[in-house]
Amino acid sequence: MSKSPARLITDVSVDEYFSEAVQTAISRRRAAVSGETAIYLTNLLTGFLTAEHLYDVTPDGVTIRPLAMIYGDAVQANTFEERVKALRRLGDIALFISGLFAHSLGRSLVDVDYYIAMGGNAYGCLADNGHRSRLVRRLQEVFMELATRFTECVDVLSEVGEKANLHNDTDILRLYEIWLGSGSPRAAEKLRSMGIQPIRLQRSRH
């Protein structure tokens, strides 16, 4: 009897699973992305499948901040490093959501085109300013590729999501919200069954 994709995530390392899934999706779609960009997409998936990386702790609670607010952080940044951090998070969040959860955007005030535009522009800004930062200089070609081939990368993530059973009626983002808000054992169990380990975020103390 064959195992379901969701089950497979729990049987191998998450990094290994998503690395193979990304490479397969790129090959199937004949996406013109480099090996370095494929690694970036893999790291994006494995990173954001931990709640503490995807969500922010805000005065209004634990949530995914709107793209406009993250863009505001970039505009108002006091240093170039802070601006880079905000732009990269903007691009990463936009890519992750539009790739894996585009269906959920239909219930919001913005659509996937908005996420694609915001994400592509964020990566483009990073690529254009690569000479000013060692980190961005190292990833400059990746950021440029993400900016110019953002839609292709969205399609790659979407195919990975379908293979991993992330595109089902049990919205993972909604499960996170339920678990974070209530500590529901059932929500935690469902997340773990998809290979996702829920981690409680701590509010910062100031």
CB-based burial label for 37 (10 Å; 0-12, 13-18, 19+): buried
For each of the chain's 206 residues, which pLDDT tens digit applies? 334 444 434 445 678 888 999 999 999 989 999 999 999 999 998 888 766 677 777 777 677 888 999 999 999 999 988 999 999 999 999 999 888 877 666 555 567 888 999 999 999 999 988 667 777 788 999 999 999 999 999 999 988 888 776 655 445 666 666 676 667 777 778 777 766 666 665 544 44
DSSP states along 66-85: -HHHHHHHHHT-SSHHHHHH
Distance CA 8, CA 3 (A): 7
pLDDT of residue 1: 34
Domain ranges in the chain are 5-193
Report the pLDDT value the prediction gives residue 9, as an integer from 0 to 100.
42
CB 153 within 8 A of CB 146: yes
